[in-house]
Amino acid sequence: MEIAYRKQDQDRLEKNFLEACKNQEFVSLIKKVGLTKEEAQKKTSKLEETINELNHCKECKGLYECKNVYLGHVSYPQKEENMIHFTYLPCRYKKEEIKQRKSETKVNEQARMKDIDVTDKKRVKVIKWLDKFYEKYDFSKPLKGLYLHGNFGCGKSFLIGALLNELKEKKNVSTEMIYFPEILRELKSDWELYEAKMHHYETVDILCIDDIGAEKVTDWSRDEVLGTILQTRMNRNLTTFFTSNLTMEELENHFLGKQTMEDKINARRIMERIKQLTEDMELISENRRK
């Protein structure tokens, strides 16, 4: 009986593989990666996913319309020492974003409150809030963080980064600013360090989740990663900041995913945690990335 089942499985793999080989893109991918027929048969469905994602990229005009599982990435096969594994490679738009992000991260890591431009009247309210937070911050008196939302490139991350750097240098506060879409990809690709990284995000004195709402929503990213981090930080009374291009209402819609009843409940639960942890403030100013 077991032999019969194995024969059926082999026949099924063979049939699926031959059907996939009708697509010349599939055949070309196998040759490019250097897979044998037997290797390709075992990975037919994953290879077809790669072809689908590559075709999405051909028609894509920017990250805002990415249809792939992980925003701005393609699941691509690699063969090393006769072992086949799939890794997430960034598309051309993601590469440009990463390049820009690295440049901005370097600037934000060096930012101090004395570097903040105070001539823009549209930023006065936010700057006053940051100054007040800095003066009042005390380990023994937990303070709410800030949900800072506004237009693209108006300096949200720089402002929060300047505050966190000042607290780290002058008051010995442990701080961390994470770019949420990239953190999700790193957590997914490095399970060995998953628990250690999650523990750090859950327990660092002040955490800033940068660009929340730019990630692709899955049950895992929303409920297991973000939900767990926020719940733990709430329980520990730890300060948390967010930056986003979305208002809280828009962010809740973003979290709806497939819009099932369960999605609606979980999206609302995430938003309640964010509201519990932060004050909501808008910053609409000139795009400083021009």
The dihedral over CA atoms of 233, 226, 63, 182, expressed in degrees to the nearest 10, equals: 70
Residue written as token pair 């599982």: 69
Q: Which one is the CATH code of 97-283: 3.30.70.20, 3.30.70.270, 3.40.50.300, 3.60.15.10?
A: 3.40.50.300
Query: So what's the pLDDT on residue 222?
Result: 93
Query: So what's the pLDDT on residue 152?
Result: 79
The dihedral over CA atoms of 153, 156, 158, 159, expressed in degrees to the nearest 10, equals: 140
Locate 175 and state its tokens. Answer: 């701080």
Query: So what's the pLDDT on residue 148?
Result: 97
Do 73 and 91 form a contact (C-beta atoms < 8 A)? Answer: yes
Query: So what's the pLDDT on residue 182?
Result: 85
Locate all alpha helices (DSSP H) within the chain, ordered by sequence.
2-20, 24-33, 37-42, 44-59, 92-110, 124-136, 156-171, 180-189, 194-203, 219, 227-235, 248-254, 261-277
Query: So what's the pLDDT on residue 54?
Result: 93
Do 172 and 267 form a contact (C-beta atoms < 8 A)? Answer: no
Query: So what's the pLDDT on residue 96?
Result: 83
The domain limits of the chain are 2-90, 97-283
Neighbours of 24 (CB within 10 A): 8
User: Tens of pLDDT along 146-193?
Assistant: 999 998 777 899 999 999 999 999 999 999 999 888 888 888 877 888
Of 122, 146, 151, which Cα lies nearest the Cα of 133? Answer: 146
3-state secondary structure of 201: helix
Query: What residues in the chain have per-residue pLDDT under 70?
Result: 1-7, 101-103, 105-109, 287-290
User: What is the rounded radius of gyration, in angstroms, for the C-alpha atoms of the chain?
Assistant: 23
Residue 259 class from Cβ within 10 Å (0-12 exposed, 13-18 middle, 19+ buried)?
exposed
Query: So what's the pLDDT on residue 1?
Result: 47
Query: So what's the pLDDT on residue 288?
Result: 61
pTM of this structure: 0.68
Of 223, 116, 102, 224, which Cα lies nearest the Cα of 160? Answer: 116
3-state secondary structure of 71: coil
